[in-house]
Structure 1
Amino acid sequence: MELNPKSLFLDHHSTISAPPPPPAAPPPAPHAHHQPHFFYWGKEAQFLFSGWPDNHTGMYALAIILVFFVAIVVEFLSNLDLVKPGSHRTAAVFFQAGFHAVRAGLRYMVILAVMSYNGGVFIAAALGHAVGYVIFGSGLSRKEARPNRCI
């Protein structure tokens, strides 16, 4: 009996075949974490917190109102002078730094909400900034008009 190297691994009835293909990846399930890269309309949104507003009309309306008022607060804080110009005391500088951090944090929250690509959220943020500017930045609420400031 003659030894054939192939016969050590295969018997007479076996054939060499390619391994089975890997299973196909399932299609991605539609869920709120995957947002389109253009504005869409409706309550099917998720922003700022996971699972919120989660397709509930009341929660969506609350979210829109919250974004609107946070944008107004951002404009209020942007036009608020708490420390006199020229004050270089250490406590005043640290207070200004903390105040600036709060103001920047609120701005970023509005930006993150707008990045949900929901048209209603975008409109609420833009209108909130506009209303806040009219009330606090345009001089209507003060006797003396203040020069226009960049955000």
Structure 2
Amino acid sequence: MGDMGGHGMGMGGMAPPPAAATHGMGMRRKRYMHMTFYWGNKSEILFTGWPGARGGMYALALVAVFALSLLLEFLGCRRLESCLPASASRRGAAARAAAHALRVGVAYLLMLALMSFNGGVFIVAVAGHAAGFLAFRAQAEDGCKEREVAPAACC
């Protein structure tokens, strides 16, 4: 086979992942990406170096993840769609498309936060979804039972 493109990397020209990241004046600091759940406030959630090892910033990150999951439940509620203009008009269709894009964007952002594999982030995300369900969907589903309608059609 020989030298792959003159780079000597083998494996189809793919370079191995870097073992360290360069920070500052030529100093190298090892960065680890967790692939299993771990506990602790030393983490990176969504942005490089945030929240870091500071407890207060970690608490702020947990509040942000909780708020994202709560917002996602709010945006997923059908009662929100009833507030938007009817989709028959071009303006109504654009408003619904924007609401859908916002909901999907928040869902992807929350998924990326969960990919930190931090146990605290996972717990507050689930708690935010539960609180959002109680706040925005539980009453609608209770109303469905009284009217014998499928829950998906009510909330």
The one-character-per-residue Cα deviations of 1:82-115 (angstroms, maximum 9, x if unpaired) are 2366x41111001100111011111111111000
Structure 1 residue 35: Cα displacement: 1.5
- Name the amino acid aligned to 1:78: G
- Among residues 129, 144, 151, which one is paired with 1:148 in the alignment? 151
Higher radius of gyration, 1 or 2: 1
Normalising by structure 1, we get a TM-score of: 0.71
- Among residues 19, 30, 33, which one is paired with 1:28 in the alignment? 19
Higher helix share: 2
Number of residue pairs aligned between Structure 1 and Structure 2:
121
Q: State the alpha-carbon separation in 2 of the partners of residues 93 and 119 from structure 1.
A: 39
- Name the amino acid aligned to 1:50: T
2:51 paired with 1:53: yes
Q: Is the 8 A contact 1:137 1:148 kept in 2?
A: no
Alpha carbons of structure 1 residues 68 and 147: separation in structure 2 relative to 1, 3 Å: farther
% identical equivalent positions: 38
Q: State the alpha-carbon separation in 1 of the partners of residues 150 and 106 from structure 2.
A: 23
2:116 paired with 1:116: yes
Higher strand share: 2
**Which blocks of at least 5 consecutive residues in structure 1 are unaligned?**
1-26
- Name the amino acid aligned to 1:72: L
Q: State the alpha-carbon separation in 2 of the partners of residues 105 and 36 from structure 1.
A: 24
Could you say what secondary structure the match of 1:108 adopts? Answer: helix
For residue 99 of structure 1, what is the aligned residue in structure 2?
99
RMSD: 2.5
For residue 83 of structure 1, what is the aligned residue in structure 2?
84
Alpha carbons of structure 1 residues 77 and 88: separation in structure 2 relative to 1, 3 Å: same
Q: Which runs of 4+ in 1 moved over 3 A?
A: 27-32, 142-147
The one-character-per-residue Cα deviations of 1:5-57 (angstroms, maximum 9, x if unpaired) are xxxxxxxxxxxxxxxxxxxxxx935644x322110000111011111001110
Normalising by structure 2, we get a TM-score of: 0.69
Q: State the alpha-carbon separation in 1 of the partners of residues 123 and 75 from structure 2.
A: 21
Structure 1 residue 138: Cα displacement: 1.2
Q: State the alpha-carbon separation in 1 of the partners of residues 118 and 152 from structure 2.
A: 29
**Which blocks of at least 5 consecutive residues in structure 2 are unaligned?**
1-17, 21-28
- Name the amino acid aligned to 2:66: F
